[in-house]
Amino acid sequence: MKKSCLILFAFLSLHTFAQKFEGLALTPPMGWNSWNTFATHINEKLVMEMADAMVSSGMKDAGYTYLVLDDAWMAKERDSGGNIIADPQRFPHGMKYIADYVHSKGLKFGLYNCAGTRTCADYPGTRGYEYQDARFYASQDVDYLKFDWCNTKGINAEEAYTTMSKALKAAGRPIVFSLCEWGTNKPWQWAESVGHLWRTTGDIGNVFAGDKKYGDWSALGVLHIIDMQDSLRKYAGPGHWNDPDMLEVGNGLTESENRAHFAMWCMLAAPLIAGNDIRKMDASTHDILTNKDVIAIDQDSLGIEGFRYATKDSVETWFKPLKNGDWAVCFLNTSNAPQKVAFKWKEEAVNDTLSNRQLDAKTTTYQLRNLWTKKSAGTTKKDLSATVPPHDVLLLRLTK
Ligand code: GLA
């Protein structure tokens, strides 16, 4: 009897408590990743310039902390000892040199690999090398690992990601673990104790409405991805986030679309991983990405994802409960024409059963603040009436 209790306890300890580092992502991770703009064209100079730009542009001050190198940082093959190595031409001083530089700027450093035998861009994958690679990341002072899902035929996703999670834990350096499994095996159902964030969809493209075709696959547009999130909010919270993919702000969307995309990622408590060339972003992109009031919606310590309250005449109304009884509301115009928005605060019943929160404008008056214009928008005593431009948002914070 005693022995079986002990075995059960050991089993539970291993499975319940020992898989991932806790406390590393109490709010959604923020940073920059190389993939959306540079794909495989990355090198030492570019990365160091990007670290400089994260500081000089104010991105770091706005909360963007992780600089993550995506696919193709490594040599095409492992060395004779099976070690993964940085591409010697593009990263001649190796990865520790980059990590040191990134850390010297007050930032954190991330790398990418894949649960399969090869990465999506055909570099060496981690399958069979989990503990060896985890020790390498720890030795290079890596703080974040994005772990992809290409070339995984016959592999069980939960097992593969759990193995890597345990390998990172065993290597001993606290590392944020980002599961990039595209939602194929519903990671939201099993990854809370495995990683800190998990992709919920296939890859994002720099398109707002509709998808972007690339031969035999399509990158998903912003609205398409938003549609795929609504039922997943109950799975997210401090330390474990739904990840609707990295940002395309500044990558060819219109200014309105950039604003709407960013606002909605914040309403979704999504990781905010910029994917534009921050060395040369225009003023509007800069102001969108570094708007601290909007970022505060994303980074709210309650960690509750927003929900779609209503859809009418191509306008979606989303609400997100915030700390201290505040709320965010976002009116998203999904159409190509301006849309009128009317909202009678006192007649609506905004009731979030997940967080057990009610917005009761009958008994409470909320102050309204427009987070893009940074101006007061009156109070909930008066019905709201506004026009939202095409593919844009009206984003308000309600404070008691
Ligand atoms: C997959 C991922 C992307 C990116 C590429 C790299 O498509 O979903 O985010 O990491 O691989 O090859």
Helix, strand, coil abundance in the chain, percent, nearest 5? 30, 25, 45
Q: Which of 298, 333, 358 is the last residue of a domain?
A: 298
Distance 196 CA to ligand 1 centre (A): 18
* pLDDT computed for residue 265 by the predictor: 99
Domain that residue 194 falls in: 21-298
Residue 204 has pLDDT above 50, yes or no: yes
Structural domain includes residue 11 = no
pLDDT score of 206 more than 50: yes
Amino acid at 248: E
Q: What is the pLDDT of residue 1?
A: 45
Given ligand 1 and candidates 71, 144, 247, which is best to mutate, with the most ligand atoms within 8 Å of its CB? 71
pLDDT tens digit string along 135-191?
A: 999 999 999 999 999 999 999 999 999 999 999 999 999 999 999 999 999 999 999
**Looking at ligand 1, which atom is closest to the CA of residue 202?**
8
- Report CA dihedral (15, 17, 19, 20) to the nearest 10 degrees: 160
Q: Looking at 148, 298, 326, 392, which residue is catalytic?
A: 148
Q: Quick one: 252 and 391 in the same domain?
A: no
* Model pLDDT, residue 199: 98
- Percent of the chain scoring above 70 in pLDDT: 96
pLDDT at 122 over 80: yes
Q: Same structural domain for residues 283 and 318? A: no
CA distance 148 to 214: 19
**Position 13 confidence tier, pLDDT thresholds 50, 70, 90:** very low
CATH value at residue 383: 2.60.40.1180
- Once rounded to an integer, what is the mean pLDDT over residues 103-118? 98
Quick one: which H or E segment has residue 243?
Answer: strand 241-243
Residue 4 covered by a domain: no
Asked whether residue 332 falls in the same domain as residue 209, the answer is: no
Q: Give the residue from 259, 274, 298 where a domain finishes.
A: 298
318 and 247 in a single domain? The answer is: no
Give the separation between CA 215 and CA 217, rounded to whole angstroms.
6
Count the domains in the chain. 2
- Residues within a 6 A CB radius of ligand 1: 35, 70-71, 112, 119-121, 148, 180, 203
Contact 341, 388 (CB under 8 A): yes
344 and 293 within one domain: no
Mean pLDDT of the chain: 96
Is the pLDDT at 130 greater than 60, yes or no?
A: yes
Atom of ligand 1 nearest to the CA of 246: 9
Average pLDDT on 99-117 reads: 98
At 16, the pLDDT band (50, 70, 90 cuts) reads very low
pLDDT at 27 over 80: yes
Residues 249 and 315 in one domain: no
pLDDT at residue 15 greater than cutoff 70? no
For the CA of 146, the nearest atom of ligand 1: 10
Q: Quick check: is 148 catalytic?
A: yes
pLDDT, tens only, 230-263: 899 999 999 999 999 999 999 999 999 999 999 9
What is the residue with the minimal CA distance to atom 9 of ligand 1?
203
Condensed to tens digits (0 to 9), the pLDDT of residues 351-381 reads 999 999 999 999 999 999 999 999 999 999 9
Higher pLDDT, 2 or 244: 244
Give which of 79, 141, 85, 154 is closest to 113, Cα–Cα: 85
